């Protein structure tokens, strides 16, 4: 049984195939509309964390492919509390053709996959966000940049999206520079594996200007993610130098694009003029969540 918990579990060839399929499905939908590839199939969507993009993109992805989806919150499940994870996995496997989980602890996704007999997709955990990276890589490709040799400047927290960018360097020769304030570094084990086994290069610096110099992509995320609200005031002070603004964008390559996984706190991690500027691809990137996830579902459930 194939799952999608991390891009690190998929080979470069597999990821290339997913991205190529996403490009094709995006083009074909615009030319022909919905298809019946997943007619009669159902995707279960488990949400411990609410979301705009994750829910809507997965539901629409199933609709475009001719299937259906069902939205499930922890009120119905009580995962690991009201009902054991292994029991939830076995029951859902009798009802649906795949499961997407958006949760806090990464262990929830891992344990669900270990006991499910249908594909399990990581829609986000506190550790990783592989579906977001799929959309990001698709956006880069659409903007005419090769993934090998790509220079990416991550500005901000060493969080789940940063971890997934680090894992992308396992498959692609990406020069990833992460400008992160002290105390917020990414997980050492993820960085160490990428440096040991990866095709790319991972550098952690305290200087946003150093990271941004000559970059093809500038990337940011909120300074305080869901579940970190009590840290917000401290983080505002710690991250105040780590903002994507016009001055920082000016240090990047002239052709550079700006990405952000959204939601954005305009005026904090990114300025309004940049997110609305000519080099922003933030909303193309958000749309591409749909197309990458369609490719993922077509591959995992539809077998193409």
Whether 106 sits among the annotated catalytic residues: the reply is no
Whether 175 sits among the annotated catalytic residues: the reply is no
Whether 64 sits among the annotated catalytic residues: the reply is no
Whole-angstrom Cα distance, residue 154 to residue 194? 16
Is the separation of the CB atoms in 85 and 112 below 8 Å? yes
3-state secondary structure of 150: coil
- What's phi and psi for 128, nearest 5 deg? -140, 155
Among the options 53, 132, 293, 299, which is catalytic?
Answer: 132
Among the options 261, 291, 293, 299, which is catalytic?
Answer: 261
Among the options 111, 216, 221, 235, which is catalytic?
Answer: 221
Whole-angstrom Cα distance, residue 261 to residue 4? 19
What is the sign, positive or negative, of the torsion defined by CA atoms of 117, 121, 127, 130? positive
Whether 2 sits among the annotated catalytic residues: the reply is no
- Picking from 86, 155, 166, the residue whose alpha carbon sits closest to that of residue 129 is 166
The token pair that represents 147 in the structure block: 């993934």
Among the options 41, 53, 235, 289, which is catalytic?
Answer: 289
Among the options 102, 163, 260, 291, which is catalytic?
Answer: 102
Strand partners, 200: none
Among the options 64, 106, 129, 235, which is catalytic?
Answer: 129
The token pair that represents 246 in the structure block: 């016009």
DSSP string, 61-107: HHHHTT-EEEEEEHHHH-BTTTB-HHHHHHHHHHH-SEEEEE-S-HH
Whether 102 sits among the annotated catalytic residues: the reply is yes
Whether 129 sits among the annotated catalytic residues: the reply is yes
Cα 264 to chain centroid distance, Å, stands at 15
Cα torsion 229, 264, 134, 2 to 10°: value is: 30
Residues sharing a CB contact under 8 Å with residue 273, sequence separation 6 or more, in sequence order: 245, 246
- The sheet with strand 68-73 has its strands ordered as 68-73, 42-47, 98-102, 120-124
Whole-angstrom Cα distance, residue 262 to residue 52? 9
Write out the catalytic residue numbers. Answer: 102, 129, 132, 221, 261, 289
């Amino acid at each position: 049984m194939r799952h999608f918990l991390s891009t690190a579990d998929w080979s470069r060839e597999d990821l290339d195939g997913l991205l190529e399929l996403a490009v094709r499905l995006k083009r074909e939908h615009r030319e022909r509309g919905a298809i019946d590839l997943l007619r009669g199939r159902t995707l279960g969507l488990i949400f411990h964390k609410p979301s705009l993009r994750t829910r809507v993109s997965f539901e629409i992805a199933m609709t475009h492919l001719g299937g259906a989806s069902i939205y499930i919150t922890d009120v119905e499940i009580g995962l690991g509390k009201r009902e054991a994870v292994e029991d939830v996995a076995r029951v859902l496997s009798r009802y649906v053709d795949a499961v997407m989980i958006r949760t806090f602890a990464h262990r929830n996704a891992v344990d669900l996959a270990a006991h499910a007999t249908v594909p399990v997709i990581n829609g986000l955990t506190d550790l990783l966000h592989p579906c977001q990276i799929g959309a990001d890589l698709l956006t880069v490709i659409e903007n005419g940049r090769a993934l090998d040799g790509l220079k990416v400047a991550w500005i901000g927290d060493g969080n789940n999206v940063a971890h997934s960018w680090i894992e992308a360097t396992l498959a692609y020769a990406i020069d990833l520079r992460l400008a992160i304030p002290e105390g917020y570094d990414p997980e050492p084990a993820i960085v160490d594996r990428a440096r040991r086994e990866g095709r790319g290069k991972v550098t952690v610096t305290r200087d946003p200007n150093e990271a941004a110099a000559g970059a093809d992509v500038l990337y940011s995320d909120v300074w305080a993610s869901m579940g970190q609200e009590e840290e917000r005031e401290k983080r505002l002070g710690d991250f105040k130098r780590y903002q994507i603004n016009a001055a920082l964008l000016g240090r990047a390559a002239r052709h550079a694009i700006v990405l952000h996984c959204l939601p954005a706190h305009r005026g904090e991690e990114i300025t309004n003029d940049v997110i609305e500027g000519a080099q922003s691809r933030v909303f193309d990137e958000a749309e591409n969540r749909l197309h990458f996830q369609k490719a993922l579902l077509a591959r995992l459930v539809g077998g193409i």
